[in-house]
Structure 1
Amino acid sequence: MTAVTATPLPVARPGRLAGTGLLLKIWLRRDRIMMPAWIYALTALVSSTVYGFKTGYDEPGALEKFARGINDNPSARALYGPVLNDHSAPAMAAWRVGATGTAMVAIMCVLLVVRHSRAEEESGRLELVGAGVLGRRAPLTAALLVAGSAAASLAVLAALVMIVFGAPVDGAVAFALSWLGAGLVFSGVAAVTAQLAETSRLANGLALAVLAASFLVRAVGDVGSAGWVSWLSPIGWAQRVRPFAGDHWAVLLLPLLAFALLATAAYALTERRDLGAGVLAASLGPDRAAPSLRGPLALAWRLQRGTLAAWAAGFFVYGLAIGGVADGVGDLVGDSDSAAKSIREMGGQQNLTDAFLTTAMGLMALLAAAYAVQGVLRLRAEESAQRLEPLLATAVGRLRWALAQLAVTVAGTAALLALTGVAVGLVHGTRSGDLGGQLPRVTAAALAQLPAVWVITAMTVLLFGLLPRFTSGGWGVLTVCVMLGQVGPVLNLPQAVLDVSPFTHTPKLPGGGFSALPLVSLTAVAMAAAAAGLLAFRRRDIG
Structure 2
Amino acid sequence: MTAVALPVARSGGGSRQFAGTGALLRLALRRDRVMLPVWVLVVGGVVGGAAGGLKGVYDTAEKRAQVATDMTGNSSLRALYGPVFDDSIGGLVAWRYGAFATVIAAVLSLLLVVRHTREEEETGRQEMVSSAMVGRRAPLTAALLTALIANLGIVLLVTAGLSAEGRSGAFAFGLALGGVGMLFAGIAAIVAQITESARLAKGMTAAVLGVFFALRAAGDAATDDASSPLNWISPLGWAENVRSFGEERWGVFGLFALAVLVTVAAAYTLAGRRDLGLSFLPPRPGPAEGRLATAGGLAWRLQRGSLFGWTAGFLLAGILFGGMADGAADLVGDNESTRDLFERMGGQSGITEAFLSSMVSLFGMIAALYAVASVLRLHGEETSQRAEPLLSNAVSRITWAAGHLAVAFGGAAVILLASGAGMAIGYGDQAPDILGASLVQVPAVWVLAGIALVLYAVVPKAATLGWAAAGLCLALGWIGPAADLPQSVMNISPFGHLPKLPGPEMHWTPVVVLLVLSVALVAAGLAGLRRRDQIS
TM-score under structure 1 length normalisation: 0.91
The alignment status of 1:70 with 2:67, answered yes or no, reads no
The correspondence of residues 156-235 of structure 1 with structure 2, limited to 5 A, is: 156-163=156-163, 166-224=164-222, 227-235=228-236
Q: Distance in 2 between matches of 1:11 and 1:159?
A: 41
2:4 maps to what in 1? Answer: none
Equivalent residues in 2 for 1:8-407 (5 A)? 12=11, 15-47=16-48, 49-84=50-85, 86-163=86-163, 166-224=164-222, 227-290=228-291, 293-407=292-406
Instruction: Give the distance between the partners of 2:52 and 2:160, measured in 1 at CA.
Output: 14
Q: Aligned letter for 2:336?
A: D
Instruction: Give the AA of the match of 1:279.
Output: F
Task: Give the whole-Å Cα distance in 1 for the aligned partners of 2:61 and 2:178.
Answer: 33
Instruction: Give the drift of 1:313.
Output: 3.6
**Structure 1 letter corresponding to 2:255:** L
SS of alignment partner, residue 17 of structure 2? coil
Q: Alpha-carbon deviation of 1:493? A: 6.7
CA distance in 1, matches of 2:365, 2:50: 17
Q: Which residue in 2 is equivalent to 1:7?
A: none
* Change beyond 3 A, Cα 1:497–1:71: closer
CA apart distance, 1:62: 2.4
Q: Secondary structure at the match of 1:478?
A: helix
Deviations 1:88-139 (A, max 9, x none): 1221221122222212211111111111100100111000001003110000
Q: 1:481 to 1:444 in 2, by over 3 A?
A: same
Report the alpha carbon displacement of residue 398 of structure 1 after superposing the two structures with TM.
Answer: 0.9
C-alpha distance 115-42 of structure 1, shift in aligned 2 (>3 A) = same
In structure 2, the residue matched to 1:432 is none
Q: Does 1:542 align with 2:527?
A: no
Q: Which residue of 2 aligns with 1:468?
A: 460
How far apart are the structure 2 equivalents of 1:261 and 1:65? Answer: 42
- Measured after TM superposition, the shift of residue 349 of structure 1 is 1.5
Q: Distance in 2 between matches of 1:219 and 1:359?
A: 20
Matching residue within 501, 508, 513 for 1:516: 508
State yes or no: 1:450 paired with 2:448.
no
| Native 8 Å contact 1:323 1:427 kept in 2 | yes
Check conservation: 1:460, 1:471, Cα contact below 8 A.
yes
Task: Output the amino acid matched with 1:364.
Answer: F
Unaligned runs of 5+ in 1: 1-9, 430-434
SS in 2 for 1:139: helix
- In structure 2, give the amino acid aligned to 1:397: S
Assess if the C-alpha contact under 8 Å between 2:196 and 2:279 holds in 1.
yes
Q: Check the 8 A contact 1:221/1:228 in 2, yes or no.
A: yes
* Aligned residues of 1:62 and 1:335 also touching (Cα < 8 A): no
Code of the residue aligned with 2:73 in structure 1: it is D
Q: Normalization by structure 2: what TM-score?
A: 0.92
Q: Spell out, residue by residue over 1:64-97, the C-alpha distance to the aligned partner (whole angstroms, 9 max, x if none).
A: 332333233222222222222x111221221122
Q: More displaced, 186-195 or 348-357? A: 348-357
Q: CA 1:314–1:170 in 2, change beyond 3 Å: closer, same or farther?
A: farther
Partner-residue secondary structure (3-state), 2:331: helix
Distance 1:61 1:428 in 2: 32
CA distance in 2, matches of 1:149, 1:136: 22
In 2, distance between residues paired with 1:139 and 1:273? Answer: 14
CA RMSD after TM alignment: 2.1
Q: Does structure 2 retain, via aligned residues, the 8 Å contact 1:455–1:523?
A: yes
Cα 1:456–1:118 change in 2 (3 A) is: same
Query: 1:339 and 1:56 mapped to 2: Cα distance?
Result: 7
Partner of 1:6: none
Post-superposition CA distance 1:484-539 (Å, at most 9, x none): 54566778776555433211211111112212221111111110111011011111
Does the aligned pair in 1 maintain the 2:45–2:157 contact within 8 Å? no
Instruction: Kindly state the Cα deviation for residue 307 of structure 1 after the two structures are TM-superposed.
Output: 2.1
Identical counterparts, % of pairs = 43
TM-aligned CA distance change 1:310 to 1:47, over 3 Å: farther
Q: Which residue of 1 aligns with 2:416?
A: 417
Summarize deviations over 1:42-77 as a string: whole Å, max 9, x none.
Answer: 235425643443222224422333233323322222
Distance 1:237 1:508, change over 3 A: same
2:54 touches 2:482 (CA, 8 Å); kept in 1? Answer: no
| Distance in 2 of aligned mates of 1:314 and 1:289 | 31
* 2:18 counterpart SS class: coil
Q: 1:48 & 1:518 partners in 2: Cα distance?
A: 30
- Alpha-carbon separation, structure 2, partners of 1:256 and 1:389: 44
Which sections of structure 2, spanning at least 5 residues, go unmatched? 1-8
Shift of 1:224: 2.7
Alpha-carbon distance between aligned partners in 1 of 2:82 and 2:483, rounded to the nearest angstrom: 29
Cα gap change, 1:260 to 1:460, in 2 (>3 Å)? same
Letter in 2 for 1:132: A
Instruction: Tell me the distance in 2 between the aligned counterparts of 1:27 and 1:281.
Output: 28
